[in-house]
Structure 1
């Protein structure tokens, strides 16, 4: 697996799985009917943000993507944020972990002092376990802050790691 800077040419491979994940309404706070143009503007960041793709080292197929950016502005801009999408067809192959490790290394290299995830759905136990294994802590849980399509109201974790 290779992680590299995303280009506009990668968007046609990112959009199908991003659309599927967002439309499912189980893990992201984006509107479930998010359109392609708006999704692209949210996901494909320009500096100081960055968007990357994880690609199969043999076929070049896009397996997942991450975007990273300052989580806040001004005097809190030393805290990074990030979001991740892995093609559901590639689940269990270590794509999320590789993207997480890449994003953390990027944040450290860029001089960020911490990384914060603002809204990790508590019922997304795989992601919560992954982020904990990479050193994140649940700092707070906002009770019933996320309306899951089958579980009803569940909490949103704010997760944090000092770098």
Structure 2
């Protein structure tokens, strides 16, 4: 969020890298996008075309058609990604932007995840003063709450 958030960055990058009228729900052929077909699943891609069937994307070499009624809720511009959207992907170069309002979200695991997306080059733009080195050195991760240990625990049959 905010002036340095992914929405603002993507708007500026669209204007600079692929300006156009946004003929289909704000998208034009050539736009980089991220498609979220299901919660927790993010597919980076590129807009190929649009027609009555929907928005046609190329995601990892596969053609994906997002129906018109699902475009607004499942497709966003993708030149700039959140760390969550980038999870699991790696790029040759990554710029991590940490505006001043990001201080509360910084933790060692988050930083590891965000910085680990870069394969060869990492640039860090930050306005968080000493919060970044402090998060790396001191801030423990918040305890996770999950049902996974319970689901994976061996089931002991009960005898009556």
TM-score (norm 2): 0.28
TM-score (norm 1): 0.28
| RCO comparison, higher one (Cα < 8 Å, 6+) | 1
Which structure dedicates a bigger proportion of its chain to strand? 1
